[in-house]
């Protein structure tokens, strides 16, 4: 793969992974399996390691997927709430074991815990009293759902005992029993409300409800898996969990200490079938180093602890008949073939549809209509066809052929060299893509317009109230109030948020436009070099390519975007609405104290988030970097700084600067 091809693929993967994170963490509507998600993330990680010049800290490989929503207040995690590395095979488990043994020569134990499938929660106690419960969020901060968590009977509000630390954080998985899930879905069907896909989605959705009474009615539980404090009662993870069980928390009886990796593998194989007898859904086993001290020595990567790993079980499989294949256009223009199946029971639910991914997958399967196919519920969420039973094939059956034109707008489909997916190039005028661009425009990292979700945008589009992003600024309350699911209050909130969005800074406005290949980082780079939208519109390809990080493909995409008269008209209307298509003087820099300095941020901070510190660095003339190298000026070091960065800084003689020292330097003390 060439450097330019890698850059395109990296940007594409980042966009898709961010969308899947949104569907999983925010909407509770995942569209791919955990396994497929992990493959995409691993591909991105591999490409970033091979082409480090394209690495940036906003990449999904450096961040935990976020479940943060506007309805709740956000709080910083006292300890970062990271995700776990995944594996699906025994060989990678042994590699995990070998990596740890290279770090320490002492003997150590593992703790094996069933991986319950729900929503992660972090609960803080002070003097034995529950003071706050926060969702995982983005790993650094999360939503405050304390009132909802207090309705869960398995979470004590107050605890007493001699070994209880003055302050501690306890983490667990909010789960819903299958029997409760079945009753809930039955009630929803009777009320003509769409049922939840699985207990995990039901638990996560319930946790984010605004009415604690409804949360209480759904009988959630919390399975505890981690205790954190400056004064832990014991030096081993296993003993701390057992002690927490004695305080009144729910800790799974299945938890086991294992003296070596062979015992770990035995535990995993035992529970692969036995777990189906449990009242809760599980999708794997979490393996952790037992010693708290050794955990500290092993440390963390950017998003995962080095002392823990999650083993995921293989999905279940069933056989059924392929009836037909339809083709869907995604919001980025990608075409996804969907198999329509004879209904079959799989992992406790009826499956009627399955993904076929792309044309290559159809060809690989040699798929014919009326074939008997093997269906797997990958990650126990989204079904997919993994094989064909050729012994049942009728010789007259017709081969499945991939379409040549977009089923939504009729445009001939395109497939770029080296890419697996076909896509519709009519991204400016194809209905699913138009709606997708509007969704992107209103998203939190773009214009941050609240109250306009996917369903509302679809409703406004179908009612001919919006056809592009500039139409949003012409909406009137009398148009919104009569619409289904809205009303006066919702309409007022939407219009208020639209009005507030005109203050969005120029770099985020550029990102919001949805120019192909222009992500957050590229938008910021462009805005630094073309400080008004008119400068950018009038730039020629050579001027664009002279800018660092903009290659021929991005330059071509920008030129194509501004060559479209409809886009120019949209920008004209957005200007009239008051959108800031220019850099305010104070937005470019507020000082030059960090001129020519390259700074790495690591750890958790008290006064500002990492994103705010990145902005402060840029506003004071500095440059952010994600990796420590000889060109690093210093590391802005917070609590729980990564051990690997600390070691590398020490070996290169790079100084560490505290949060207080940094704020003093830039004059914010």
| Per-residue model confidence (pLDDT) at position 380 | 46
Average pLDDT over residues 113-141: 93
3-state DSSP assignment of residue 291:
strand
Sheet with 221-228: list strands edge to edge.
129-135, 119-126, 167-175, 221-228
Average pLDDT over residues 562-579: 94
Residues 617/626, Cβ–Cβ less than 8 Å: no
| Per-residue model confidence (pLDDT) at position 6 | 84
**In 473-596, alpha helices (H):** 477-480, 488-500, 506-512, 520-529, 533-537, 541-545, 552-563, 565-576, 585-588
pLDDT in tens, 316-334: 778 899 999 999 987 778 8
**In 166-309, alpha helices (H):** 178-190, 199-207, 212-217, 237-247, 261-274, 292-298
| Per-residue model confidence (pLDDT) at position 378 | 58
| Per-residue model confidence (pLDDT) at position 125 | 96
Give the per-residue SS3 of 378-446. Answer: ECCCEEEEEEEEHHHCCCCCCECCCCCECCCCCCECECCCCCCCCECCCCCCCHHHHHHHHHHHHCCCC
Average pLDDT over residues 334-354: 85
Count of CB atoms situated within 10 Å of the CB of 293 = 12
pLDDT in tens, 213-244: 888 889 999 999 999 999 999 999 999 999 99
The number of residues in the chain equals 669
The strand pair at 634-637 and 598-602 is best described as parallel
d(CA 664, CA 288): 40
d(CA 64, CA 85): 11
Is residue 590 predicted with pLDDT exceeding 70?
no
Q: Could you tell me which of 558, 551, 494, 552 has the C-alpha nearest to residue 530?
A: 558
Q: Which of 34-38, 486-490, 645-649 has the lowest mean pLDDT?
A: 34-38
Residues 549/559, Cβ–Cβ less than 8 Å: no
What are the CB-based long-range contacts (under 8 Å, 24+) for 243-249? Answer: 243/163, 244/170, 246/161, 247/156, 247/159, 247/161, 247/164, 248/156, 248/159, 249/154, 249/155, 249/156, 249/170, 249/172, 249/222, 249/224
Average pLDDT over residues 563-585: 90
**Residue bearing tokens 């939407």:** 494
**Residue bearing tokens 């035995």:** 266
Residues 422/359, Cβ–Cβ less than 8 Å: yes
Dihedral angle of Cα 194, 198, 200, 203, to the nearest 10 degrees? 40
Give backbone dihedrals phi and psi of 385, rounded to 5 degrees, phi first: -85, 125
Give the per-residue SS3 of 245-283. Answer: HHHCCCCCCCCEEECCHHHHHHHHHHHHHHHHHCCCCEE
Residue 23 DSSP one-character state: I
Please name each of the domains of the chain with its CATH number: 3-62 (1.10.287.610), 74-312 (3.30.470.30), 315-426 (2.40.50.140), 442-564 (1.10.150.20), 589-665 (3.40.50.10190)
What are the CB-based long-range contacts (under 8 Å, 24+) for 658-665? Answer: 659/605, 659/606, 659/607, 662/613, 662/636, 663/607, 665/593, 665/594
Count of CB atoms situated within 10 Å of the CB of 132 = 16
d(CA 129, CA 166): 10
d(CA 91, CA 265): 10
User: Measured over all CA atoms, what is the biggest interatomic distance in the chain, rounded to whole angstroms?
Assistant: 79
Contacts with 634 (C-beta within 8 Å, 6 or more apart), sequence order:
597, 599, 600, 654, 655, 656, 657
Q: Which of 107-116, 298-307, 589-598 has the lowest mean pLDDT?
A: 589-598
pLDDT in tens, 424-446: 988 778 999 999 889 999 998 89
Is residue 374 predicted with pLDDT exceeding 60?
yes
| Per-residue model confidence (pLDDT) at position 326 | 94
Dihedral angle of Cα 560, 407, 511, 77, to the nearest 10 degrees? -160
d(CA 603, CA 514): 32
CA angle 93, 95, 96 (to 5 degrees): 65
Average pLDDT taken over every residue of the chain? 86
Q: Two tokens at 35? A: 């396994």
The residue that leads in pLDDT, 124 or 24, is 124
Active site amino acids: 115
d(CA 124, CA 606): 16
3-state DSSP assignment of residue 550:
coil
| Per-residue model confidence (pLDDT) at position 205 | 86
Count of CB atoms situated within 10 Å of the CB of 575 = 15
Q: Could you tell me which of 586, 604, 591, 606 has the C-alpha nearest to residue 666?
A: 591
Percent of the chain scoring above 70 in pLDDT: 92
| Per-residue model confidence (pLDDT) at position 630 | 83
3-state DSSP assignment of residue 532:
strand
pLDDT in tens, 46-95: 888 888 888 776 677 765 555 555 568 889 998 888 888 888 788 899 99
Q: What is the pTM of this model?
A: 0.49
Q: Two tokens at 415? A: 């497939």
Given CA atoms 619, 621, 623, 628 in this order, what sign does their dihedral have?
Answer: negative
Average pLDDT over residues 489-501: 93
Residues 73/297, Cβ–Cβ less than 8 Å: no
The residue that leads in pLDDT, 519 or 310, is 310
d(CA 569, CA 494): 24
Residue 85 DSSP one-character state: P
């Amino acid at each position: 793969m060439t450097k330019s091809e890698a850059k395109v693929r990296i940007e594409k993967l980042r966009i898709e992974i961010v969308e899947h994170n949104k569907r999983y963490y925010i909407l509770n509507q995942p569209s791919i399996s955990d396994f497929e998600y992990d493959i995409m993330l691993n591909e991105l990680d591999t490409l970033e390691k091979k082409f480090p010049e394209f690495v940036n800290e906003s990449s999904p490989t450096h961040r935990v997927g976020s479940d943060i929503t506007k309805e709740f207040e956000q709080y910083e995690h006292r300890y970062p709430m990271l995700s776990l590395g995944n594996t699906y095979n025994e060989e990678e488990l042994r590699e995990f074991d070998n990596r740890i043994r290279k770090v320490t020569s002492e003997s150590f134990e593992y703790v094996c815990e069933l991986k319950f499938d729900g929503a992660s929660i972090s609960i803080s106690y002070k003097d034995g009293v529950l003071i706050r419960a926060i969702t995982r969020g983005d790993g650094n901060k999360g939503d405050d759902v304390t009132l909802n968590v207090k309705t869960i009977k398995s979470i004590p509000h107050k605890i007493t005992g001699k070994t209880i630390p003055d302050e501690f954080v306890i983490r667990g998985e909010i789960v819903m029993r299958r029997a409760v899930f079945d009753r809930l879905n039955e009630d929803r069907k009777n009320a003509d409300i769409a049922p939840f896909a699985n207990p995990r989605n039901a638990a996560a959705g319930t946790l984010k409800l605004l009415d604690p009474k409804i949360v209480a009615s759904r009988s959630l539980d919390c399975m505890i898996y981690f205790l954190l404090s400056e004064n832990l009662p014991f030096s081993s993870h296993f003993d701390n969990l057992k002690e927490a069980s004695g305080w009144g928390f729910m800790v799974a009886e299945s938890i086991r200490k294992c003296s070596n990796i062979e015992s770990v593998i035995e535990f995993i194989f035992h529970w692969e079938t036995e777990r189906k007898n449990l009242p809760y859904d599980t999708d794997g086993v979490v393996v952790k180093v037992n010693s708290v001290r050794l955990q500290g020595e092993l440390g963390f990567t950017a998003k995962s602890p080095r002392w823990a790993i999650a083993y995921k079980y293989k999905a279940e499989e069933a056989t059924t008949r392929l009836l037909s294949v339809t083709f869907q256009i995604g919001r980025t223009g990608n075409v996804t073939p969907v198999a329509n199946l004879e209904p079959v029971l799989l992992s406790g639910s009826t499956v009627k549809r399955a993904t076929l991914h792309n044309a290559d997958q159809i060809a690989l399967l040699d798929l014919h209509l009326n074939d008997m196919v093997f269906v797997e519920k990958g990650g126990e969420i989204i079904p997919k066809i993994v094989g064909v039973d050729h012994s049942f094939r009728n010789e007259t059956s017709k081969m499945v052929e991939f379409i040549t034109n977009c089923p939504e707008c009729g445009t001939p489909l395109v497939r770029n060299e080296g890419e697996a997916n076909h896509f519709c190039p009519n991204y400016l005028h194809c209905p699913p893509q138009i709606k997708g661009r509007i969704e992107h425009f209103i998203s939190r990292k773009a214009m941050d317009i609240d109250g306009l979700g996917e369903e509302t945008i679809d409703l406004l589009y179908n009612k001919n109230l919006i056809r592009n992003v500039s139409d949003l600024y012409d909406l009137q309350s009398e148009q919104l109030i009569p619409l289904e699911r809205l009303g006066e209050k919702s309409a007022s909130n939407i219009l208020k948020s639209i009005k507030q969005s005109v203050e969005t800074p120029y770099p985020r406005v550029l990102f919001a436009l949805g120019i192909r290949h222009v992500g957050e980082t590229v938008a910021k780079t462009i805005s630094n070099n073309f400080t008004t939208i008119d400068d950018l519109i009038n730039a020629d390809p050579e001027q664009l390519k002279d800018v660092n990080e903009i290659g021929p493909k991005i330059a071509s995409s920008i030129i194509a975007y501004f060559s479209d008269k409809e886009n120019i008209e949209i920008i004209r209307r957005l200007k009239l609405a008051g959108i800031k298509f220019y850099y305010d003087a104070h937005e470019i820099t507020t000082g030059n104290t960090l001129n020519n300095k390259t700074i790495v941020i690591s750890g958790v901070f008290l006064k500002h988030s990492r994103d705010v510190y990145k902005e402060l660095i840029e506003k004071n003339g500095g440059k952010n970097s994600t990796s420590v190298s000889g060109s690093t000026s210093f590391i802005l070091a917070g609590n729980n700084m990564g051990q690997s960065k600390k070691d590398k800084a020490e070996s290169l003689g790079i100084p560490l600067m505290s949060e207080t020292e940094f704020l003093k330097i830039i004059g914010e003390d």
